[in-house]
Amino acid sequence: MDLQQPYLIGDCLIHIFTFLTEEDLISASSVCKDWHEAAKTPWLWRRMCLQRWTFCNFSVFRSEQVNHSWKRYFLRRCHLEDKMTKGRSGDYTCKSLRGHTGRVVGLVYLQGNSDQRPDLWNSSATVCSASTDGTVRSWNIQNGDLLWCSPVQSPLTAIITDEQHEAVITADSTGLIKSWQGQTGQEVASFNAASPHCTLLQYNINNSWFLSVGTSQGYVFTLADTALTIKSRVKVCDTFKVNTLLVSPDKKWVTAGTKDNDDLILKVISTESLTSPTEDEDPLCQSVPVTGCQAAVFIPTQPARLAIIHHNQRPNNKTLTVFDVSLKKTKYKSEIQVQQVESFPLTLNTRSSEFLLEAKDSNCLVLAAGQELMVYSLKGALVASFKDRTRPITSICVDSFLLTWRNDRDHCSSLESRYHLLGGSHTMSRGFTHVICDYSSIVASVEGNDGKDVLKVYSFTS
């Protein structure tokens, strides 16, 4: 080797360093100046990032405001994951947020921390909560400050948010839908659905903002932008409330239906029919060929792949069936095709009628039934199962890293995942009722014995 050719030496070192782990690479960088320069090569750390997480947000490294590097990205994300995995005291802080005088009915992140944006982990995440006291409250969860509180109205029943447009949407017990400006809490618009129960679904199509609302009368209203301008009204299930309302990842399809009748079926509706209806044509709609839907979810990594838990021929037996939704166009018409991909019976040790279904990726379905939490592959293989010790699981939250669930709200419980987070009170509360999480924090509502719910915020230090 020609010692007068330092670039050749550097290239050789970089090639050798591709065989090292991150710990060994960090150690090698301390040997000498040449090794240090080779070990901080961005290509090496980019390679490690993509090997570990498959996808990373490249836009992070185009920002001129912060000094980014692939090494910094890798180390910060690993550090946070390690703290979230262990959940030891000192790896997170716990704050109590008080102010609601009623029961919390929903929590949403207005601005959260993403696993793809470690450059923003130190920013102030914002959470909005809705309550039966008739108010929406916005919180800075890092310092526990109340940012704004809406005027009192009828008891709220639902809340969702659109981070892209910084909007908050609520429904109350009279069916009044309202949109709020997320930064200031100013009311933007309202729409009366005249329904004591509303299911809310917000989505964006080509930078246009839409809200679909399922009602107790079986209708789905679709509203446009934060002004809540009505675009369409479609009858989905006669006299039964719409409590299943989902949008596909490609935003081409909305699935709507009810879980309250075993004879009714879900329907897949073209979002174009909902957002841009024509007067002389019926909505483009197709029924899913199974009855008695118990739970449904779209697979997040596929354009339009729908998983459904439903009844089969035998009493108390359940089946999980997966469908692909697509559009078939001919010379004279277009029709929706719902084609079965997989179907398998569920092996359950419970007669629970409550099922929760979430999907993490293209081959991971998370199911909760009774006291059991199960992970299935798309082919029906039971990958893992967990059993809660005492009470049925009534809620699950699946994000890109963490699985969490809670117990029945009528009994003392703990927020659970790979560990127990401390901060709840068994004497002053009846347990956690709602749980949400982003990549660096978990927020849960605690049902107080005095009727005043408290928010618990767990922030993982990064």
In the three-class reduction of DSSP (H, G, I as helix; E, B as strand; rest coil), residue 322 is classed as strand
Burial status of residue 100 (CB atoms within 10 A of its CB: 0-12, 13-18, 19 or more): buried
Q: Is residue 15 part of a domain?
A: yes
Q: Is residue 400 part of a domain?
A: no
Task: Tell me what pLDDT residue 407 has.
Answer: 40
Q: Is residue 332 part of a domain?
A: no
Task: Tell me what pLDDT residue 411 has.
Answer: 38
Q: Is residue 74 part of a domain?
A: yes
What value does the CA radius of gyration of the chain take, rounded to a whole number of Å?
25
Q: Is residue 148 part of a domain?
A: no
Question: Is 220 in contact with 212 (CB distance < 8 Å)?
Answer: yes
Residues 342, 322: Cα–Cα separation, whole Å: 5
Residues 17, 340: Cα–Cα separation, whole Å: 47
> What percent helix, strand, coil does the chain show, rounded to 5?
15, 45, 40
pLDDT in tens, the chain (462 residues): 455 555 556 678 888 888 888 788 888 888 888 788 888 788 888 888 877 765 565 444 444 444 457 787 787 777 766 665 555 555 677 888 999 999 999 999 887 655 445 444 455 688 999 999 999 999 998 888 999 999 999 999 999 998 777 899 999 999 999 999 999 999 999 999 999 999 999 999 988 999 999 999 999 999 999 899 999 999 998 889 999 999 999 999 999 999 988 888 899 999 999 999 888 788 899 999 998 899 999 998 899 999 999 987 665 678 999 999 999 888 788 899 999 999 999 877 666 668 889 887 788 888 888 888 888 888 888 887 777 656 677 677 776 444 443 444 443 333 334 445 555 555 566 677 788 877 678 888 888 888 889 998 887 765
Q: Is residue 179 part of a domain?
A: no
Q: Shortest CA distance to 405 belongs to which of 425, 421, 381, 428? A: 421
Q: Shortest CA distance to 110 belongs to which of 160, 175, 176? A: 160
pLDDT in tens, 395-450: 777 764 444 434 444 433 333 344 455 555 555 666 777 888 776 788 888 888 88
**Considering its fold, how many domains does the chain have in total?**
1
DSSP 8-state code for residue 58: G
CATH of the domain at 79: 1.20.1280.50
In the three-class reduction of DSSP (H, G, I as helix; E, B as strand; rest coil), residue 399 is classed as coil
Residues 176, 167: Cα–Cα separation, whole Å: 16
Q: Which two tokens stand for residue 350?
A: 């419970």
Q: Which two tokens stand for residue 34?
A: 């040449």
Parent domain of 76: 6-85
Q: Is residue 17 part of a domain?
A: yes
What are the DSSP calls for 103-172, one per residue? -EEEEEEEE---TT-GGGTTS--EEEEEETTS-EEEEETTTTEEEEEPPP-SPEEEEEEETTTTEEEEEE
pTM of the model: 0.76
Q: Is residue 53 part of a domain?
A: yes
Residues 414, 433: Cα–Cα separation, whole Å: 10
Task: Tell me what pLDDT residue 6 has.
Answer: 54
Question: Is 433 in contact with 446 (CB distance < 8 Å)?
Answer: yes
Task: Tell me what pLDDT residue 316 has.
Answer: 67
Parallel, antiparallel or unpaired: strands 126-131 and 104-111: antiparallel
Give me the residue label for tokens 């290239």.
Answer: 11
